[in-house]
Structure 1
Amino acid sequence: MATSNKDNSKGKISLKYKIILGVFAGLSVFVIATSYYIYQMAYTPNVLTQKGAKEQVLYIPKGMKYDELAKKLRTEGTIQHPVAFGVFSKWLGYVDNVKAGRYILTPKTNTIDFVRQLRSGNQAPVNVTFNQNLRFLTDLAGKITNNLELDSAEFATYLQDESTAKEFGFDKDNFISMFIPNTYEMYWTATKEEVVERMKKEYDKFWTDKRKELAKAKGLSQKEVAILASIVDAETRYADEKPRVAGVYLNRLEKEMLLQADPTLVFAHKDFTIKRVLNSHKEIESPFNTYKYAGLPPAPIRLPSISGLNAVLNAENHEYIFFCAKEDLSGYHAFAKTNAEHEANARRYHRALNERGIK
């Protein structure tokens, strides 16, 4: 009987071990399966792009909540596995830490990297481009905000506020000259203050000590250089001719002659469809009428270009005091030292206009 009890005891222990081993094996399988599932959720690519596209751009506006973002990702088909995104958003603390921005995603982006990218706010910059073909701050506001979240009307109001110009050392009329035309990288979420502060830094960077010395040598302030450059830009579209045109105006200023710049009359009339300036246009009462008032007008007539600014600073040294468009209508100009030469050039040009019916 003792032997029988001993065998029963061994049998019970053996059964106990089998149960433990079975439970352990089951748990192991569960852990392995769960771990594999979690691994798959974490590291499986979870971004969808248009067929053939190498990347997807995601915009998250300021103030967007996590639930709104999750819905946006689902409805726009940005992610393949919404559940995985939700799980890791909670685990990594992104649910309460949504950051606005413009994010570049690729088809190989997995869930955990996707959530980490959004949580870190690691957004991609955009190109902000504007050129000299802008006349007013409102035009500039519309152009700058093309690739930004910033509202153009709000930005225009900010730019036209006298206090904004004063903050950066300008007045409302010449504030536009602080914006150097070029292409700049900015974040899509940049505020109006950040944009203008960036433009002031670019302005200061442009105005090196050498450029300041060149301006001083010509008896011009930085703002006066911008005003004259805006006129030069309006007179010719050819960069190689701008230094010569600038030289003409500098000669006239030195001789205390009226500038008699047709583009300033067009600006005074605010009619930019004018192709041919007539004597009647010269009668307008305006500080921009350089046929009536000596010296430079009070502000730029357009956003001065880099080539225009450099043309004034490096103006050609010559004795020309007149110029008019060439009769071939190429856009280039005929230059003259005397009024007689200028009148002859002007007659040829006007004859060409009349022959083509341009009024």
Structure 2
Amino acid sequence: MAWRVLWQPNVTVSAFGPAYLYIRTGSSYQAVLDSLEKHDLLREPATFRWLAARREYPAHIRPGRYLLDPELGNAALLDRLRHGRQDTVAFELNAFKYKPQLVRQVSRQLEADSSALRRLLNDNAFLRRRYQLDTTTVLTLFLPGPYRLFWNTSARQFLDSAAATHGRFWNPRRRRQADSLRLSPVQVHVLASIVQRETAKPGDKPIIAGVYLNRLRTNMRLQADPTLLWAIGNFGVKRVLNRDKLVDSPYNTYKHKGLPPGPITSANRQSLNAVLQPTAHRYFFFCARPDLSGFSDFAETYAAHRRTARRYQHALDSLKIRR
């Protein structure tokens, strides 16, 4: 009898993969029992309840995401739950353009309260005090890529984790590279976000970064189409029109000199490194190739650029792409 109650495997084996028990922050013992029984996670719930009472588990509820191995008996399972030995969640943070997209990604993966995260992302005093950022530049805090966190990570803990990842990326070598370009880390993120929206081709990224740096050095407007698309809220546009260039926004780099006030997407490591290690050249212009391969043609003069731009426009015309 003792072996059965203490050590006999008591976790239901699933044909759909590992079983997990999710315990929300502030959950009661009854809520844990309800979850175990609702999802049919135990073979013999009664023996679990009997041992849980004797080991005072109701007074030691710890939130988290717990992996329930098929070989776990009640004693081992209760030891895992009482001591909070939870499993971590591995997820990929995808590039995002707007704060609500970040909030949705995080709330789908973690317990972090979406309203709390939204509130912190829009709290200037908190962001300046904790990360030396503001509500516009806070998007530079996030690096797309793999994260591994506890499921019950709070909104503030998630931001701190993102800041730690950000800090590891910005090592002394990269800070020296940014200094040599006379850019701050925030400015590198902003420029990298533009480069990232301009091309998905790794070989073109440092060349395009060099184009924009040449423009910045000569006080030329960036005239970056992706910043217009961010301003009008439509990244699906294939063809930027003259009326788009009239949009009243600090992100309109056809109207305003210098970098926009914040990033237009969360820049990944490849785009950031392209800005930190740009190709040295004398190009001031570039345009998508007319074969629509995703690569770009580069030019030193506006006259040469107009010729390549016309070829690209003709390609769009032939495909009847108006917008």
TM-score when normalising by structure 1? 0.86
**Aligned ranges 1:1-359 → 2 under 5 Å:** 37-51=1-15, 53=16, 55-132=18-95, 134-167=96-129, 168-359=131-322
More helix by share: 1
Post-superposition offset of 1:188 = 0.5
Give the conservation status (yes or no) of the 8 Å contact 2:21–2:35: no
SS of the aligned residue for 2:57 comes to coil
| CA distance in 2 between partners of 1:75 and 1:173 (Å) | 44
Give the conservation status (yes or no) of the 8 Å contact 2:196–2:205: yes
Q: Which amino acid aligns with 2:167?
A: D
Q: Which amino acid aligns with 1:39?
A: W
**Structure 1 segments of 4+ aligned residues over 4 angstroms from their partners:** none
| CA distance in 2 between partners of 1:237 and 1:212 (Å) | 25
| CA distance in 2 between partners of 1:230 and 1:121 (Å) | 39
SS of the aligned residue for 2:134 comes to coil
Change (3 A) 1:85 1:310: same
Post-superposition offset of 1:54 = 5.2
Q: Specify the structure having the higher radius of gyration (Cα).
A: 1
Post-superposition offset of 1:162 = 1.5
Post-superposition offset of 1:55 = 2.5
Give the conservation status (yes or no) of the 8 Å contact 1:131–1:305: no
Instruction: List per-residue Cα deviations over 1:103-139 (Å, max 9, x = no partner).
Output: 001211111101111111100000232122x111221
Instruction: List per-residue Cα deviations over 1:205-249 (Å, max 9, x = no partner).
Output: 110100000001011111111110011001001122100100000
SS of the aligned residue for 2:307 comes to helix
Give the conservation status (yes or no) of the 8 Å contact 1:147–1:188: yes
Instruction: List per-residue Cα deviations over 1:290-341 (Å, max 9, x = no partner).
Output: 1121111111111111111110000001111100000001111000111121
| CA distance in 1 between partners of 2:36 and 2:175 (Å) | 52
| CA distance in 2 between partners of 1:285 and 1:319 (Å) | 31
TM-score when normalising by structure 2? 0.96
Gaps of 5+ in 2: none
What is the RMSD of the two structures over their aligned residues, measured on CA atoms?
A: 1.3
Gaps of 5+ in 1: 1-36
| CA distance in 1 between partners of 2:126 and 2:267 (Å) | 20
